[in-house]
Structure 1
């Protein structure tokens, strides 16, 4: 694995490093790393990607073993763990890096592997991978809708369509049409859609924690903030109706 010390000489780094004590030597130090140093350092990590297994915590050793089995890299592949179950993967061969980055979707241990190219602005303590490719199922749509352009156009109602499953294109199964799309997990996921006036259900393969109330991923209806707010609103309305339509006795009972 290429080490930063092999690329940047100590003298170059020290020349681009600034240290100040604006509030005196006992105060907070202020460090400035020069842009030239950062540009070289960023170049070292250019063939890296950030990954996270959706909805599951996995040890780095188990995930590394699984990814090597799946990708079968011929060149070196290095993996390091980051906060919040993010992992950073570095490839020696650019072709293998691009294949892992673009040829998904990848699934490990029955869950989707979210991937994105590394960038120096990514902060694993705060940021999330907001978009992920998933297969959607359009349940029970008529067989005369099974045309690539129809299905791709229909899938635009959920998010960005990428491709249609070959089994669907070959009309080998007709219980549901399967389309590969990229979805934004910060937005509500569509559970239904109207096609020519008829309503059809949409399901997301591999995404189990979808709230039926607000459509957002990562929580279920019983922990939905929107649902709790509606319950509180209903209770407040009921209490207001009781106070306006009757008087409360000291024992807590109501009379009209």
Structure 2
């Protein structure tokens, strides 16, 4: 198995030397690694130590200069000519979530409506934080981000960390007014009927698509 990953800093360009120094400081690898720059701001990293390779893939999300460093295992079908990042592992916060909803059922529901839950922070996992739940989920950046969900009839905001470039007309990451197809073709004119029955697996939570996308979706970490 080749110990190689492909990385790209989402939403920000970064130079070769700066990236090398940043990931070295962030990861503190046991062994050496080689960094190679590719097209469209992608980089290839080859590790010598399998533990380093596993740590980088399974750890994180990794953040540099307030932006996510997207990481994927290298494969033969990878092409740097496709400059878009599709799936990204991100932190989300559910501010004000009641302790009673910290359950596996909630995690399954979030997986269905927002994205695959990779892990929770230690406070959420122990249900001791009280003010909010914080989770790592895998989201598809090609689709509008989910801004709100309902939990037992109560609207719950979904806040995203380190995703500064959300266009609030359509909820898509990286869009602008000039290039947003959703603005021109009215992609938000026919939202899903949120009064329809939900499946048994997701009866705790369902999408609320009629709510507008707002700046509170972006949580600033201090």
Q: Shorter-chain TM-score: which interval?
A: 0.7 to 0.9
Residue matched to 1:152 = 107
Bigger relative CO (Cα 8 Å, ≥ 6 apart):
2
* Separation (CA, whole Å) in 1 of partners of 2:63 and 2:16: 16
2:25 equivalent among 44, 69, 76: 69
2:41 equivalent among 66, 71, 85: 85
Change (3 A) 1:172 1:73: same
Q: Summarize deviations over 1:36-61 as a string: whole Å, max 9, x none.
A: xxxxxxx7xx2111000111111010
Any gaps of 5 or more consecutive residues in structure 1?
A: 1-42, 231-256
Residue matched to 2:200 = none
Any gaps of 5 or more consecutive residues in structure 2?
A: 187-222
* Separation (CA, whole Å) in 2 of partners of 1:118 and 1:128: 16
2:13 matches 1:57: yes
* Separation (CA, whole Å) in 2 of partners of 1:151 and 1:180: 14
Residue matched to 1:9 = none
Q: Report the TM-score when normalising by structure 2.
A: 0.76
Question: Counterparts in 2 of 1:174-193, with a 5 A limit?
Answer: 174-193=130-149
Residue matched to 2:64 = 108
1:130 equivalent among 78, 86, 91: 86
Q: What root-mean-square deviation, in Å, do the aligned CA atoms of Structure 1 and Structure 2 show?
A: 2.1
Question: Counterparts in 2 of 1:1-256, with a 5 A limit?
Answer: 46-126=2-82, 128-145=84-101, 147-156=102-111, 157-220=113-176, 223-230=179-186
Q: Report the TM-score when normalising by structure 1.
A: 0.67
* Separation (CA, whole Å) in 2 of partners of 1:154 and 1:140: 18
Deviation at 1:229, TM superposition (A): 3.4
